A and B are shown apart, each in its own frame.
Chain A
Amino acid sequence: MKDRSQATTETVSNLIELFSGLPGIGPKSAQRLAFFLLRAPTEHSRRLAEAIIAVKEKTRLCSCCFNIADTDTCPICSDMQRETSSICVVEQPQDIPALEHTGAFKGLYHVLHGAISPTEGVGTKDLRINELIERLKNGAIDEVILGTNPTVEGETTAMYLSRLITPLGIKVTRLARGLPYGTELEYADDVTLTRAIEGRQKL
């Protein structure tokens, strides 16, 4: 097979190679992105490059909830309007925008940065669990909402956290697990359906 990288200059093929290392980007998409930038105004490339550098250099984890932040505390933790009596525990920073979009939760968050996965060797020390417990001991928190994913790992994490937090005298709740909106009942699995029946609500 001919080496395709010789068909373009080293500068371009270097960019293509870097793009193709990104998640979900194959060699063809990488090539398309590289040639797009080649034709686009220089200003565009500069802004893109600066944004990429900035996201690495200027962001950090919120000292309180471990969400992504530009300053010491994230926008949610520094917002005085939020209810400080409840904390929603999530696995990833990406989970927060999803929950925020609903507008249904007004409290604070705590990002674990993963979930307990015994077979992958991810244990409690790899997650921000101690930090959560410290936060609960220091603050006036009434309720902890466990918003980990409804997977074996997420459930394991939730059950573990519940055992840790309950003795502190704080109410522990779990996000409801049931039927997703816009789906059909016949395709639901047994675990989801059982939980949906257990968690049914009066209309």
Chain B
Amino acid sequence: MTKPRSYQTEAIIIKKTKLGEADRILTLYTPLRGKLQGVAKGVRRPRSKLSGHLELLTYSQVWFARGRNIDTITGCQTINGFIELKSHLELTSVALYATELVNLFTAEHIENHPLFRLLLETMERLTADADSRLALRYFELHLLDKVGYRPRLRQCTACHQPLAAVSNFFCPPSGGMLCPTCAVEQPTAFTVSVNALKVLCYLQEKDFAAASRLRLSPELEKELEGLLRSYLGYLLEREVKSATWLDSLREQALLGP
């Protein structure tokens, strides 16, 4: 059976690249088709009917026409423009970081409905005044889960024994925790405080409604961020560009409370 010449899907716009004089190549994340790319013609002209519906961080219904190399976007209608997100510097930056992670961890045309939902829910949470750092840690942990890198937090990944309530170690190459005995042989392992591990387990096992009740101290927040970042960085073998921007925003103390 030949594929139909056109199709439509819901999508979140996660990346855009300029093409030629007035066109763009967009990367979209969809519920049933995974990551897609499409050419949007003329969207850089001011009177384009599509441009506003195809901006980054927009959740839209998108119509495609199949092409030989790349599909063309023929129509688009916003489902949620996330205007609150886009009107806030920190939230925009956090959401861009989330979309960059999705882009880096996925390949084209591989369906991952749970990941789509996670991204959409995270954007909704950010809009709904959730603690943006907690929402981001929750997103990172569950993204790892949904792309097949769920870190093992309850047992030691080497000796498989349950972890004792002491400072244990996180080891990116092992994909999870190590007990103090096993960590000796692993130079890349680093200490994780008892509280940080508790929070990680809680975030990993509970839904966001429960997780959002957590209140973390700045030190604990920093530890969790560092841990997840080093694991993500290890898996991706590259830095996440928008993380640098998030850091520089925070350094200049420009982030709102």
Contact = CB atoms under 8 A, between A and B. Distances in A.
Interface of A: 23-24, 116, 118-121, 123-124, 151-153, 155-156, 159-160, 163-164, 180, 182-183, 187-192, 194
Given A118-B241, A119-B15, A156-B93, A187 B57 contact: no
A155 B96 contact: no
Interface size class of B (residues with CB under 8 A): 35 or more
Contacts of B96: 118-119, 152, 156
A77 B80 CA distance: 43
Contacts of B107: none
Nearest to A183: B47
B83 interface: yes
8 contacts: A118-B246, A119-B242, A155-B87, A159-B92, A183-B47, A189-B51, A189-B55, A191-B81
A189 B53 contact: yes
B242 A156 contact: no
A189 B57 contact: no
B223 interface: no
A147 to B, nearest CB: 14
B241 A159 contact: no
Interface of B (DSSP majority class): helix
Contact of A191 (B21, B52, B241, B248): B52
Nearest to A180: B46
Given A152-B55, A159-B92, 8 more contacts: A116-B245, A119-B242, A120-B241, A123-B248, A152-B86, A156-B96, A160-B254, A191-B52
A151 B47 contact: no
B83 A121 contact: no
B73 to A, nearest CB: 14
A180 B47 CA distance: 6
B97 A118 contact: yes
B81 A194 contact: yes
B109 interface: no
A132 B58 CA distance: 31
Contacts of A121: 241, 244
10 A-B pairs with least C-beta separation: A189-B52, A118-B242, A190-B81, A118-B245, A121-B241, A159-B89, A187-B49, A152-B56, A191-B81, A119-B100
A187 B75 CA distance: 10
Interface in B231-257: 241-242, 244-246, 248-249, 254
B20 A24 contact: yes
Given A155-B92, A160-B254, A192-B52, A123 B244 contact: yes
Contacts of B244: 118, 121, 123
B89 A23 contact: no
A151 B89 contact: no
A163 B93 CA distance: 15
Interface in B40-81: 46-47, 49, 51-53, 55-58, 78, 80-81
B92 A163 contact: no
A59 B227 CA distance: 49
Given A119-B96, A119-B99, A160 B89 contact: yes
Contact of B78 (A118, A120, A189): A189
Interface in B105-146: none
A189 B89 contact: no
**Most chain B CB atoms below 10 A, which of A159, A190, A192:** A190
Contacts of A192: 52
B248 A124 contact: yes
**Most chain A CB atoms below 10 A, which of B49, B103, B246:** B49
A73 B93 CA distance: 35
Contacts of B241: 118-121
B47 A182 contact: yes
Contacts of A180: 46-47
A16 B208 CA distance: 59
B83 A123 contact: no
A182 B78 CA distance: 21
B52 A163 contact: no
B86 A155 contact: yes
A23 B52 contact: no
Given A118-B246, A189-B52, A23 B46 contact: no
Contacts of A124: 248
Contacts of B99: 119
